[in-house]
Amino acid sequence: MSERAKRSYDASGVAYVAAASVKQFPKPHRPEVVFAGRSNVGKSTLVNALSRRKSLARTSKTPGKTRLVFFYELSEDYYYVDLPGYGYAKTSRGEQDAFSKVTNDYFENDRPIAIVLLLLDIRRGFGKLDLEMLDYLCHFDIDWQVVLTKADKLSRQAALKAEKDVMEVIRDYAERYQKTARPPLSVSAGQSPRDLRMQRLEEEILDFVEKARSN
Ligand SMILES: Nc1nc2c(ncn2[C@@H]2O[C@H](COP(=O)(O)OP(=O)(O)OP(=O)(O)O)[C@@H](O)[C@H]2O)c(=O)[nH]1
Ligand SMILES: [Mg+2]
């Protein structure tokens, strides 16, 4: 029997592939919008918000919920790829588990990545592993956009300060790797999809998909 993962369908009819290993990844035939970040930062929640579905991607209060790579086929034009979070060591082996094997496999298999959304909890900003991820993306010339999640947990003033601090790091990386410094976008999961910030994120995603399709 082939190990290639079969497509499944969620309750609302969206097709998806849940891959435990590289053999189960779908054929790389459309641009991929990737959701990456620490465990519990809100990747699956953002997938649901952007796709206007409450429970397409499974979310949880317990870190480490997403252990597989999920490819959601929300459009014929792209996949949303929900990665397992990093920085959550299920075993006592600690940091060697920080990025799961299937996450490494994803990045090492020359996928047609349109954009990596690097999610950071607005209350924490960049951590060591986020910076490692950023170095990796810059080194391999993969486009990325920082998204600050859980903006509803901070006052407007504190959120602005957090955005400013994060922007300093982004500027530093952009300079070092001669990239465009894109400001972070902050979102809250509870926001309506019509929220302006969510709309901006959506537009930006579509721009990157378009760019990837025309390459
Ligand atoms: N207040 C608030 N809570 C959020 C927001 N986004 C996510 N959460 C909560 O954070 C928790 C983790 O969310 P998930 O979407 O499962 O996080 P994840 O990044 O997919 O986690 P892993 O799959 O473990 O990597 C859940 O309890 C969510 O309800 C947000 O914008 N605001
Ligand atoms: Mg998840």
Domain containing residue 68: CATH number: 3.40.50.300
Q: Pick 171 or 197 by higher pLDDT.
A: 171
- 119 domain residue, yes or no: yes
The boundaries of the domain holding residue 120 are 8-214
The arrangement of strands across the sheet holding 69-73 comes to 8-9, 15-19, 69-73, 79-82, 32-37, 113-121, 144-149, 185-186
1 in any annotated domain: no
Residue 3 has a pLDDT of 61
Would 16 be classed as within a structural domain?
yes
Domains in the chain, number: 1
| Residues in contact with ligand 1 (CB, 6 Å cut-off) | 37, 39-45, 59-61, 63-66, 84-85, 149-150, 152-153, 188-189
Which residue owns the Cα nearest ligand 1 atom 32? 150
Nearest CA to ligand 1 atom 3: 150
- Specify whether the backbone of 75 is left (phi greater than 0), alpha (psi in -120 to 50) or beta: beta
The pLDDT value recorded for residue 1 is 42
**Residue 193 located in a structural domain:** yes
Residue 95 has pLDDT above 90, yes or no: no
Residue 185 counted as domain residue:
yes
Rounded CA separation 38/64 (Å): 9
Q: Say how many Å lie between the CA of residue 83 and the centre of ligand 2.
A: 7
Report pLDDT digits (tens) over 60-77.
877 766 789 999 999 999
The tens digit of pLDDT for each residue in 106-115 reads 999 999 999 9
Q: What number is the average pLDDT over the span 181-186? A: 95
pLDDT at 87 over 50: yes
Q: Which atom of ligand 1 is nearest to the CA of 45?
A: 15
As a whole number of angstroms, the distance between CA 46 and CA 118 comes to: 12
| Coil, helix or strand at residue 215 | coil
Q: Is residue 86 part of a domain?
A: yes
* Distance in angstroms (rounded) separating the CA atoms of residues 57 and 70: 8
pTM for this model (two decimals): 0.93
Q: What are the helix (H) ranges across the chain?
A: 43-50, 101-108, 128-139, 156-176, 196-214
- Let me know if residue 2 belongs to a domain: no
pLDDT beyond 60 at 208: yes
